[in-house]
Amino acid sequence: DTGVSQNPRHKITKRGQNVTFRCDPISEHNRLYWYRQTLGQGPEFLTYFQNEAQLEKSRLLSDRFSAERPKGSFSTLEIQRTEQGDSAMYLCASRPGTANTEAFFGQGTRLTVV
Amino acid sequence: GNSVTQMEGPVTLSEEAFLTINCTYTATGYPSLFWYVQYPGEGLQLLLKATKADDKGSNKGFEATYRKETTSFHLEKGSVQVSDSAVYFCALNVGSGTYKYIFGTGTRLKVLA
């Protein structure tokens, strides 16, 4: 296992289009997170899955955003009707279920909305 | 609420200089504290962590001590190298529920040869 994998690495889309990103976590990790990072800022939490259950969503996750983890393995993050303000790096992270363990991050998907 | 405050960058140092990047936090409960590093074009990598007060995390010559009395977790390195040039993020998570991270804004370090 080579770590958390995210695809695509880069996405350029026109305003109003829908986009979907994929995250493949480390295989034995049952906890998965999505974060958003804008230029010059630290990552901000978007949502959290434990296995297939989405247990927490940030207020940042507007109704245009939806995330799934259908079989408790990979996850997708979809943004509908993209806006220029959605331009950011979207980071996925995973960790095992034991306490005091760190999360492992993917390389991110950089979204540019033009 | 929970928050992390880092010193603003960029920090520019000559090779072999001493590095300190300040980080303070506000948290309810008993957070674990982390430093992550982000090299250009890459994702976040864990640099070190500390899970309770007075713990010292260390890795690759970097150190940080969890100071509960000053709510701080400053990152230090005795002699930086050009290859240390990156953005450094201080983060916390509170050990309940999601264990989600709260990150600081990051500090860019540039080391000159």
Q: Is the pLDDT of residue A35 over 60?
A: yes
Report how far residue B15's alpha carbon sits from residue B110's, in angstroms, rounded to the nearest whole number.
10
pLDDT attached to residue A60? 86
Per the rule left: phi > 0, alpha: psi between -120 and 50, beta: everything else, A16 is left
Q: Is B36 on the interface with A (CB under 8 A)?
A: yes
Q: Is the pLDDT of residue A88 over 90?
A: yes
Q: Is the pLDDT of residue A100 over 80?
A: no
Cβ–Cβ under 8 Å, residues B50 and B92 = no
pLDDT attached to residue A76? 98
Q: Is the pLDDT of residue A40 over 90?
A: no
Nearest neighbour of B100 by CB, restricted to A41, A45, A100: A45
pLDDT tens for B81-97 read 999 999 999 999 876 77
The low-confidence residues of chain B, meaning pLDDT below 50, are none
Return the higher-pLDDT residue of A75 and B30. A75
pLDDT attached to residue B42? 84
pLDDT attached to residue B35? 98
Cβ contact (<8 Å) for A42 and B45?
no
Cβ contact (<8 Å) for A99 and B97?
no
pLDDT attached to residue B43? 86
DSSP for A39-59 reads TTS--EEEEEEETTEEEEE-T
Q: Which of B30, B47, B59, B99 to mutate to test the interface with A (most CBs of A within 10 A)?
A: B99
Cβ–Cβ under 8 Å, residues A37 and A91 = yes
Of A107, A47, A42, A102, the closest CA to residue A77 belongs to: A47
Average pLDDT, chain B: 94
Cβ–Cβ under 8 Å, residues B43 and B33 = no
Average pLDDT over residues A1-20: 94
pLDDT attached to residue B95? 64
Residues of chain A with pLDDT > 70: what percent?
A: 99
Return the higher-pLDDT residue of B30 and A42. A42
Q: Is the pLDDT of residue A52 over 80?
A: yes
Q: How crowded is residue B101: how many other Cβ atoms within 10 Å of its Cβ?
A: 27
Q: Is the pLDDT of residue A1 over 70?
A: no
Which residue matches tokens 């928050």?
B3
